[in-house]
């Protein structure tokens, strides 16, 4: 198996450019189903989750051409299936994003119950309840979700119990052809939602309010058209990871290729923690010349502190100058990486959805296992400042969301390698 091995204690400094947002690219790829023809997406990250979504679309009948490393040409003219099988959906929960567009195009869909990171239930109840309000009927059996729209989707008011990103996206895509106006209350407000809404509008959909708690979609009767070129928004979470890494290591790191406004609360919290933050239109420069201040954090839906930045921030706070509490309000299993960080010396006590953190002076390198995407990145971060060597296994999780993670760290000065080792060595 492959592992990432880090020798800690070396200066980390320089510039790093982030890729397009994973959580946007996947949904944009699914949305191409809505417009038969050839759509081109640029700034698409070369990561395993994108490869899986590509396999889903190919299975459905799409033809995907990689024009260059970050440009995909997706031809959905001959899509003739409306089922997403378990062997693909089990690899990535975001595969359920095809639910809405397949309903809008074919009025029926079969999607396997989702898989992905083991960070929480992430049930799709809200997707189902919202789509039922539009007129979709569901039958769930043998591990599959069977959905159909027999009488045409009709616009209505849908109030989400929680501002679910996935439910908001599926409702937006399903309702583009619904009769009348669909209003989503308590909608997710993430930048990736805005990117999807802009993309759908380029296709000919009529959407107002994306980025606010109330989104209105006016159904259109005419067929949507493919988009000649759409650039995926920069990945704020990859950017946040490298910003946290720069703050952890101390020397100046400049992170480019994203909108700093998409990380406003994270950057404010990091300044409270003693990090020096300089912002431009599409970059952040970070360094730290003082001890890390211990600051309480609680994750919330956007524009709150993102759950996807929780693990990286806990890594910083584990070396803080006092004690603090991190509260996870989004995914119940998001602290799984904490036990691995404890192996490196961290003083973390879990109490339900709270992590009580007492700062220590340093991490000790050891063998750790990546439990999920962001937790894996955080463990690599810890290895950069740990005494001795840290070996991170189960790195397939990291590959799901970070392109060229090891080469980018090497360019910043990290003594880090990706190695093939025998299972018995771990």
- Indicate which residues carry an active-site annotation: 117
Opening angle at CA 281, ends 198 and 263, nearest 5: 70
Residue list, annotated binding site: 22-23, 93, 308, 330
Residues paired with 218 in a beta bridge: 181, 206
Residue list, annotated binding site for UDP-N-acetyl-alpha-D-glucosamine: 93, 308, 330
Neighbours of 408 (CB within 10 A): 20
137: CB partners within 8 A, 6+ apart: 147, 148, 149, 150
Residue list, annotated binding site for phosphoenolpyruvate: 22-23
What does the alpha-carbon distance between residue 96 and residue 149 come to, in Å, rounded to a whole number? Answer: 17
Q: How far is CA 400 from CA 26, 47, 54, 70, in A?
A: 11, 6, 13, 16
In the chain, the largest separation of any two C-alpha atoms, in whole Å, equals 65
What does the alpha-carbon distance between residue 253 and residue 286 come to, in Å, rounded to a whole number? Answer: 5
265: CB partners within 8 A, 6+ apart: 303, 304, 305
Provide the token pair at 263: 């990380």
């Amino acid at each position: 198996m492959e592992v990432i091995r880090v020798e800690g204690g070396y200066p980390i400094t320089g510039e790093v450019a982030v890729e397009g947002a994973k959580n946007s690219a996947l949904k944009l790829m699914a949305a191409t189903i809505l417009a038969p023809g050839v759509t081109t997406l640029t700034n698409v990250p070369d990561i395993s989750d994108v490869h899986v979504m590509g396999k889903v679309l190919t299975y459905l009948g799409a033809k995907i051409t990689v024009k260059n490393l970050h440009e995909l040409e997706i031809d959905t003219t001959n899509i003739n299936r409306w089922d997403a099988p378990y062997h693909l959906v089990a690899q990535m929960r975001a595969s359920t994003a095809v639910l809405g567009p397949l309903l809008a195009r074919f009025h029926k869909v079969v999607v396997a119950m989702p898989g992905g990171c083991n960070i929480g239930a992430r049930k799709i109840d809200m997707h189902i309840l919202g789509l039922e309000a539009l007129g979709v009927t569901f039958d769930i059996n043998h591990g599959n979700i069977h959905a159909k729209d027999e009488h045409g989707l009709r616009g209505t008011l849908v109030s989400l119990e929680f501002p679910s990103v996935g439910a908001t996206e599926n409702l937006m895509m399903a309702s583009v052809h619904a009769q009348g106006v669909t209003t989503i209350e308590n909608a997710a407000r993430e930048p990736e939602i805005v990117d999807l809404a802009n993309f759908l509008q380029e296709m000919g959909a009529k959407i107002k309010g994306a980025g606010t708690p109330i989104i209105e979609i006016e159904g259109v009767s005419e067929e949507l058209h493919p988009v000649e070129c759409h650039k995926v928004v920069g990945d704020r979470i990859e950017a946040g990871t490298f910003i946290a890494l720069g703050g952890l290591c101390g020397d100046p790191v400049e992170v480019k290729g994203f909108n700093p406004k998409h990380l406003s609360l994270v950057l404010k919290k990091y300044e409270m923690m003693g990090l020096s933050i300089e912002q431009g239109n599409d970059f952040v420069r970070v360094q730290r010349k003082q001890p890390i201040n211990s600051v309480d954090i609680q994750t919330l839906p956007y524009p709150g502190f993102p759950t996807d930045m929780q693990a990286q921030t806990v890594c910083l706070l584990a070396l803080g100058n006092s004690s603090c509490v991190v509260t996870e309000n989004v995914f119940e299993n998001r602290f799984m990486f904490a036990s691995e960080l404890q192996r490196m010396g961290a003083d973390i006590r879990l109490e339900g959805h709270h992590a009580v953190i007492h700062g220590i002076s340093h991490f000790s390198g050891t063998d750790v296992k990546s439990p999920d995407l962001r937790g894996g990145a955080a463990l690599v971060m810890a290895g950069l400042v740990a005494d001795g060597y840290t070996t991170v296994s189960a790195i397939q999780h990291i590959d799901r969301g970070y392109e060229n993670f090891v080469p980018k760290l090497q360019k910043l000065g990290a003594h880090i390698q990706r190695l093939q080792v025998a299972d018995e060595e771990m």
